[in-house]
Amino acid sequence: MTPLSRNRNYRLLWASQAVSEVGFNASLIAFPLVVLMVTGSAAASGLVLAVDAVAQLLVGLPGGVLADRWNRRRVMLWSEAAQAVAVASLAVALWQGAATLPHMVAVAAVLGACRALFEPAEDASLPRIVPESQLATAVSLNAARSSVGQMAGTALGGFLVAVGRWVPFAVDALTHALAFVGLLFLRVPPSPPAERRHFVRELLDGLKWVLGRPEMRVTAWCAMTLNLFFSAYYLVIIVLAQSRGVPLGEIGVMAAMLGAGGVVGALIAPRLSALLSPHQAIAGVFWALTLLAPLAVFISNGYLMGALFAGMALLAPTANTVITTYQLLRTPDSLRGRMSGVMNVALGTAAALGPALGGVLAELLPGSGAVLLCAGGIAVITVLVTAHPVLRAYPRKDVMA
């Protein structure tokens, strides 16, 4: 069997998105700073980020339907092209000193909507690009790609905005253009023809598929709760670190070490997912968080906290690999876009609510109280995950196909 490293189509998809994600994360970190520079309003910065997130959530379910209706490669191409044009227009406006808040809000909406269209199309295309036996490895490598792109892009964005407020967006436009060119050479085997129904009916079919299967419903719940509590916990730890006088540079290292843990975890995920049962892989990440989360109460050094974050991130890619591989293999090709859309909306909602929850907890329970409450919530979910009969009966990899 041809290894993934020699799979031309997978290499094109992976490399094009690696480049695109670096540019995207560079402009994402720069966006609120630039909005603040242009408008002088912190509320405007928050508005732009909120529009991006809301657009992604609103387009998530329809995006899954379109990924199943349309040619998936074309959906990815048009998404990259639209993002390139949007950020290029903003770069030009900033260069000329003509950027306005409505323009920046519109660009944020385009970026969020395009990601909601691209992700289901990519997820649904993956099983047609790589063999089933290599799907878990491909999923884990995609996770590593995202983590590396986030770390590199975040570091690059801070530097680029110091060079010029328009520069991060010009670089982002270039990376999307390069990704577009790479995808032009991508070949995705055509999907079998599927019956077309009313758009809303097809959207509801996607929801029914996920919610009507206990194993998919439960794993979606696991992923949502994990995202919710960890997002809340992360913000609580940042607030706690600041209150304890941890230097800003060390806080930045904490975030970088979290990303590094995710990268290492993604690289070892294929081997771990082969050694562990699905239930062990999923429950393992919850147990790791349960054991590690309370330790933050006793740590006041940013580097040690970063090591703790890295440890907490290490097993998450294995659970993600197991869940995503199972979902893609068990979902018919005609429904894969919608399944991905449903999951992306669920995870995006949890990721959006998590920081809000963390902020409220940090305000109501200053100091270690918020940390212990988050850790307690994670522990309760861990017990439920460990004992859940559906997860205990989760099929092994050799019977997933």
**Residue at 321 is within a domain:** yes
Cβ distance 344 to 60 under 8 Å? Answer: yes
- Out of 1-15, 168-182, 247-261, give the one with best mean pLDDT: 168-182
CA 46 from chain center: how many Å? 20
Q: Are 261 and 162 found together in one domain?
A: no
- Say which residues have a Cβ less than 8 Å from residue 288's Cβ, sequence separation at least 6: 311, 312, 314, 315
At 197-228, the pLDDT tens digits run: 888 999 999 999 989 988 888 888 888 888 88
Query: Closest Cα to residue 382, out of 307, 263, 311, 279?
Result: 279
Q: For residue 396, what pLDDT band results from cuts at 50, 70 and 90?
A: low
Share of the chain above pLDDT 90, in %: 43
Q: Which residue type, as a one-letter code, is found at position 279?
A: H
**Residue at 394 is within a domain:** yes
**Residue at 199 is within a domain:** no
Q: Are 167 and 31 found together in one domain?
A: yes
Q: For residue 399, what pLDDT band results from cuts at 50, 70 and 90?
A: very low
Q: For residue 397, what pLDDT band results from cuts at 50, 70 and 90?
A: low
CA distances to 24, 49, 158, 162, 333 from 95, rounded to whole Å, are 19, 21, 18, 14, 45
Q: Are 109 and 75 found together in one domain?
A: yes
**Residue at 196 is within a domain:** no
Burial of 11: CB neighbours in 10 Å, binned 0-12, 13-18, 19+: middle
Mean pLDDT along residues 41-57: 86
Mean pLDDT along residues 324-349: 91
Mean pLDDT along residues 257-274: 87
Q: What does the longest C-alpha to C-alpha distance in the chain come to? A: 61
The reported pLDDT for the residue numbered 79 is: 97
Q: For residue 400, what pLDDT band results from cuts at 50, 70 and 90?
A: very low
Q: Are 55 and 162 found together in one domain?
A: yes
The reported pLDDT for the residue numbered 94 is: 95
**CB atoms near residue 101 (< 10 Å):** 14
DSSP E strands, 262-354: none
Query: Closest Cα to residue 384, out of 222, 210, 212?
Result: 222
The reported pLDDT for the residue numbered 339 is: 94
CA–CA gap between residue 219 and residue 248 (Å, rounded): 36
Mean pLDDT along residues 150-166: 86
Residue written as tokens 């509320």? 43
Q: Are 327 and 296 found together in one domain?
A: yes
CA–CA gap between residue 75 and residue 70 (Å, rounded): 7
**Residue at 195 is within a domain:** no
Residues across the chain? 401
Q: Evaluate if residue 231 carries a pLDDT over 90.
A: no
Q: For residue 401, what pLDDT band results from cuts at 50, 70 and 90?
A: very low
Higher pLDDT, 190 or 65: 65
At 288-324, the pLDDT tens digits run: 999 999 998 888 888 898 899 889 888 888 888 888 8
At 54-77, the pLDDT tens digits run: 999 999 999 999 999 999 999 999
- Say which residues have a Cβ less than 8 Å from residue 185's Cβ, sequence separation at least 6: 12
The reported pLDDT for the residue numbered 63 is: 95
Cβ distance 31 to 44 under 8 Å? Answer: no
**Residue at 261 is within a domain:** yes
Ranges 51-55, 313-317, 392-396: which has the least confidence: 392-396
Ranges 79-93, 160-174, 190-204: which has the least confidence: 190-204
The reported pLDDT for the residue numbered 3 is: 82
Q: Are 161 and 210 found together in one domain?
A: no
Cβ distance 212 to 268 under 8 Å? Answer: no
CA distances to 12, 56, 312, 394 from 22, rounded to whole Å, are 16, 19, 24, 36
CA–CA gap between residue 141 and residue 377 (Å, rounded): 30
CA–CA gap between residue 125 and residue 127 (Å, rounded): 6
CA–CA gap between residue 106 and residue 398 (Å, rounded): 47
Q: Are 35 and 101 found together in one domain?
A: yes
Domain coverage including residue 394: 205-399
Q: Are 129 and 232 found together in one domain?
A: no
- Say which residues have a Cβ less than 8 Å from residue 123's Cβ, sequence separation at least 6: 324, 328, 336, 337, 340
| Total domains present in the chain | 2
CA–CA gap between residue 271 and residue 273 (Å, rounded): 6
At 95-137, the pLDDT tens digits run: 999 999 999 999 999 999 999 999 999 999 999 999 998 998 9
Tokens describing residue 360: 């409220």
Q: For residue 190, what pLDDT band results from cuts at 50, 70 and 90?
A: confident
Q: Evaluate if residue 284 carries a pLDDT over 50.
A: yes
Cβ distance 297 to 244 under 8 Å? Answer: no
**Residue at 193 is within a domain:** no
- Out of 27-36, 107-116, 349-358, give the one with best mean pLDDT: 107-116
Q: Are 331 and 266 found together in one domain?
A: yes
Q: Are 132 and 248 found together in one domain?
A: no
Share of the chain above pLDDT 70, in %: 97
The reported pLDDT for the residue numbered 128 is: 93
Q: Evaluate if residue 5 carries a pLDDT over 80.
A: yes
The reported pLDDT for the residue numbered 235 is: 83
**Residue at 200 is within a domain:** no
Whether pTM exceeds 0.85: yes
Q: Are 30 and 153 found together in one domain?
A: yes
DSSP state of 297: G
Q: Which domain CATH number covers 243?
A: 1.20.1250.20
Q: Are 24 and 145 found together in one domain?
A: yes
Average pLDDT, the chain: 88
CA–CA gap between residue 343 and residue 320 (Å, rounded): 12
CA–CA gap between residue 137 and residue 359 (Å, rounded): 36
